[in-house]
Amino acid sequence: MSKLADKVQQELIQAIDDDALVLPTLPEVALKVREAAEDPDASIQGLTKVIGNDAALTARIIKVVNSPLLRTNKEITDLQMAISRLGINYTCNLATGLAMEQMFQATSDVVDRKMREVWNKSTEIAGICHALCRHYTRLMPDQATLAGLVHQIGVLPILTYAEEHSELLADSISLNHVIERIHPIIGDRILRAWEFPDPIAAVPSQYGDFTRNSVRADYTDIVQVATLQSYLGSGHPYTELDWGAIPAFAKLGIDPNVDIQADEDLSAAMEAAMSMLQ
């Protein structure tokens, strides 16, 4: 690692240890959605009112409910009908995840491009997570999707730091080194600060540990396998790993030597899940 990357890493870790790193806050609409969903008297009408104030989010949720994965014979054009179809918990997780996109914006073109790249990769992995969860586990697809959308959330403060330090921005190799090493620690801190449930809050810091072997399949396993699958056919270092030695595949019941995207039904489900998040 370069001296610059080493210096930045030390500064960021020190800031984390000192609780001096400014962590991003959840978008206001996500906070309101969560508050509405956690109310013991939560209602579809109440959630409709909260989400309905955000025209973009409303359109995205209606798009999702009419996607090939979830649509019924009748097209849904109304937000309240969409929430009725999805259910309060599913809608809450989906709205929270989709609202995150608002955070992936920057003032400089270089950082903005990097944030777009991170968000696009996260939506790709989230779509694969949704399909894997439905096909191979009894876990909740909405939670798996949310886990995929937030697994790289720790990149945000690093890119914010880079915006203020032009020398790091000018050295893409050092920047990528720092992101790779630090984002899992920061991501864990962010999701715990946002009081995400532990099975999702643990994903950023654990999905990159390919020796990890939990008692049963969980959301980290799903994100891990989805991440590896997303790099199939590329020259990424993950494709050089011995996937047969990675416990997550066995826990999901997936043969690591088989390209699951060659399965037409599963491949179509992955494509549909990815497109609904775009």
Would you give the distance in Å from CA 11 to the centre of its chain? 26
Would you give the distance in Å from CA 85 to the centre of its chain? 23
Distance, in Å, from the CA atom of 148 to the CA atom of 145, rounded to the nearest integer, reads 5
Backbone φ and ψ for 23, nearest 5 degrees, come out as -85, 145
Angle of helix 55-65 relative to helix 79-86, nearest 10 degrees? 50
CA–CA–CA angle 263, 211, 181 (5° rounding): 100
Distance, in Å, from the CA atom of 76 to the CA atom of 54, rounded to the nearest integer, reads 18
> What is the pLDDT, as a whole number, of residue 1?
55
- Residue 122's identity, in one-letter code, is S
- The string of DSSP letters for 37-49 reads HHSTT--HHHHHH
**Mean pLDDT for each 10-residue chunk of the chain (278 residues)?**
78 83 88 90 92 93 87 88 93 92 88 93 94 94 96 94 86 88 91 94 97 96 96 92 96 88 80 80
- Residue 269's identity, in one-letter code, is A
Q: Is the CB of residue 139 less than 8 Å from the CB of residue 149?
A: no
Q: Is the CB of residue 251 less than 8 Å from the CB of residue 214?
A: yes
Kindly tell me the sign of the dihedral angle through the C-alpha atoms of 108, 112, 113, 115. positive
The CATH code that applies to domain 3-24+105-277 is 1.10.3210.10
Write down the pTM of the prediction. Answer: 0.92
